[in-house]
Chain A
Amino acid sequence: MIKLDRITKSYLLSGGNRHYVFKDLSFTFPEGANIGLIGPNGAGKSTLMNILGGIDIPDSGKVITNKSISWPVGLSGGLQGSLTARDNVKFVARVYGYRAAELAEKVRYVEEFAEIGEYFDEPIKTFSSGMRARVTFGLSMAFDFDYYLVDEAGAVGDANFKKKSMAVYKQKLQSGNVILVSHNMSEVRSLCDHIVVIYGGNAHVFDSVEEGIKMYEEIRTVQ
């Protein structure tokens, strides 16, 4: 269960006013389902993702859950540029309590997934953005979470990598679930079972993907 309880989130604007992204937002994510978070730009999708991931905190209210939630998939901020990809992966695995053989297994998984050869033992700061994406994506997929937070599933990498990452998503979704922010409706259709449309500080939960997408299309035409 992931339940949002009276979440209020605002940002201070440079003019001194406050912009409220959410005011007393309460809703429950459909249980055990893959959820597509859609809505126009600036509606607060990413803010909501960050709150779910614990990167951002609401002004008031709380997120109530008994599920494990991943960090935003593909997050690269947590990597130390001067360390090698291997050391960075080891760090995250250690943080999540893996040791010895299990740790080696996580490292091997990411190394094989990233397919960047000897660069795996080079400092991350020397990587191209594509190589970095391969490592960060592999890192997220190496761990088992109940929910994966994904912002734009197929945003990075070449065609080959996109195909590979979609395959991994499908595989991971057999044991876990995804909360996906995307503007790509074909992606939403292929990965999600339910839709939450974020619009005007409100969340509209749809059990049917098509109905959710319909509302999203209507909002877009109004704008």
Chain B
Amino acid sequence: MIKPSKRVAAREQFFSVLFALFLREIKTRFGERRFGWLWVIGEPLLHLFVLLTVFVFLSNHMMPQVPFELFLVTGLIPYFIFQRAVTGLMASIDSNKALFAYRPVKPIDTYITRLILETLIYLCVFVVIIFGFGFFMGLDISIYHPLMTLGIFFVLLTMGFAFGVIASLIVDVFPTAKIIIKVLMMPLYFLSGIMYPLWIVPSQYLHYLQYNPIVHLVELLRESYFSHYPVVNGISLLYPLIVTVVALFIALYFYRFRRFALAAKP
């Protein structure tokens, strides 16, 4: 038998660890309650359903360009993916600490597993809701520029990963920061242009809002989803891309320094 080179072995090990962690995380979540498998998708689905119902009935936004329901979903899903990525990654060291006793398991494996899992859950929710709208309400749910949509999602995930890793590194040194980060995530909900179109924001405030890279991604996602979505001035892919690359660099740079400390006992 030919002995595999070290490189191949390392890659195989990486994927077998990811696979093992993924199954473990899914099984753990499934097993928590009766019909656990239903809740993995059901809980976020219900959450979104309630939000949608409330927003649609309470708001009187008239949007001739796009159906308001779809407008909301295309904002809520990216927001939740980002938010769950950051909070999930932040908690992943704590909840997996005991596993680092098994040498092949590295902290970054648990980050990646969480990111994949949360993304898959919310993409499933997205698909279910969108098809629900198409089926029951007869809305046109076709995506105008699918490749662009996919690309935006990818940038969003990378950004969520980077900020999640940074959050996890901070929390590992200062455990109380967890609360602060969670509190900081809350206004993001209102500052990301999820529930309102950007063009109703007065121009003197719009400028500040655009410091939030998620605003750009949400707007671009909608532009790629709907055929005639009016994007306000100043929205660009370049800004969130730069933020993502810089954040990813910071995250991986400090991860490299802290990778053994993260895996060590408290």
Contacts and interface: CB of A to CB of B under 8 A. Distances in A.
A72 B114 CA distance: 27
Contacts, number: 69
A71 B101 contact: yes
Interface stretch (A15-23, A86-94, A206-214): A86-94
B19 A94 contact: yes
Given A54-B263, A57-B264, A72 B24 contact: no
Contact of A83 (B13, B27, B101, B105): B27
Interface in A93-113: 94-97, 99
Given A50-B265, A54-B263, A95-B17, A78 B101 contact: yes
B16 A83 contact: no
A94 B264 CA distance: 22
Given A82-B32, A87-B27, A95-B17, A55 B101 contact: yes
Contact of A95 (B16, B27, B260): B16
Contacts of A82: 28, 31-32
Interface string B244-266: 00000000000000001101110
Contact of B100 (A55, A72, A83, A97): A55
A150 B4 CA distance: 31
A100 to B, nearest CB: 12
A97 B31 contact: no
**Size category of the binding interface on chain B:** 20 to 34
Contacts of A53: 101
Interface string B45-83: 000000000000000000000000000000000000000
Given A54-B263, A83-B28, A94 B16 contact: yes
Given A77-B101, A91-B23, A96-B102, A55 B265 contact: yes
Contact of B24 (A55, A69, A87, A96): A87
A13 to B, nearest CB: 15
A75 interface: yes
B147 interface: no
Contacts of A57: 260-261, 263-264
B98 interface: yes
Contacts of A97: 12-13, 16, 104
A217 interface: no
A99 B16 contact: yes
A78 B24 CA distance: 12
A184 interface: no
Interface string B5-19: 000000011001101
B264 A77 contact: no
B28 A95 contact: no
A56 interface: yes
A92 B102 contact: yes
B104 A95 contact: yes
A65 to B, nearest CB: 12
B103 A54 contact: yes
B176 to A, nearest CB: 17
Contacts of B143: none
A126 interface: no
A130 to B, nearest CB: 21
Nearest to A80: B28
Contacts of B21: 95
Contacts of B104: 95-97
A77 B16 contact: no
Nearest to A98: B16
B28 A75 contact: no
A56 B261 CA distance: 8
Given A94-B16, A94-B20, A55 B264 contact: yes
B175 to A, nearest CB: 15
Contacts of B170: none
B100 A95 contact: no
Contacts of A94: 16-17, 19-20, 23
10 contacts: A54-B103, A54-B263, A57-B261, A71-B101, A78-B101, A80-B28, A83-B24, A83-B31, A95-B104, A97-B104
Given A56-B265, A75-B101, A97-B104, 13 more contacts: A54-B103, A55-B101, A55-B264, A57-B261, A69-B103, A71-B101, A71-B103, A77-B98, A83-B24, A91-B23, A95-B104, A96-B102, A97-B16
Top 5 nearest A-B pairs (CB, nearest first) are A94-B20, A77-B98, A71-B101, A57-B264, A95-B20
